[in-house]
Amino acid sequence: MITQLDHIGIAVADMDAAIATYTQLLGAAPTSVEDVPTERVRTAFFKVGETQVELLAATSDDSPIAKFIAKNGEGVHHMAFRVTDIRTAIVQYQKDGFTVIGDAPRPGAHDTQVVFLHPKTTHGTLIELVQLSQ
């Protein structure tokens, strides 16, 4: 079902400062910067080999990223894995005992569909499942 690691998401308080840091660290500018209204975040993606690093900054105080930073500070927020059929993946992971956050895929960055597995069922790591647009 999982085909590859898609990206690692890093929660940041200041997107401009984080972009500058990661541009210097990785030796390249982000490949994209966009808002994801459904998640109330601004994202910046950096290509690193076959995967990506995603920076996430809250666009509102009630954003999951704002809450994450308030509780944990900046840092790794989630790991995202690519799946070929997100609806089938949701059903299978629920059957396997994982808690899926939300009952249906929702729009993600880069015109994808995403859903999350609760960290209580993945040993403390928020897992995002990502289906590329068809």
Domains and CATH numbers, the chain: 2-131 (3.10.180.10)
Q: State the average pLDDT for the chain.
A: 96
Bridge partners (DSSP) listed for residue 55: 10, 44
Task: Inform me whether the pLDDT recorded for 60 exceeds 80.
Answer: yes
> If DSSP codes are grouped into helix, strand and coil, which group holds residue 128?
strand
Rounded Cα distance between 111 and 115, Å, is 13
| Residue 131, H or E segment | strand 126-131
Task: Inform me whether the pLDDT recorded for 33 exceeds 70.
Answer: yes
Task: Inform me whether the pLDDT recorded for 102 exceeds 90.
Answer: no
- So what's the pLDDT on residue 103? 80
Closest alpha carbon to 69 in 80, 79, 55: 55
Max CA pair span of the chain:
43
Rounded mean pLDDT of 52-81? Answer: 97
Question: For a pLDDT cut of 90, what percent of the chain falls above it?
Answer: 95
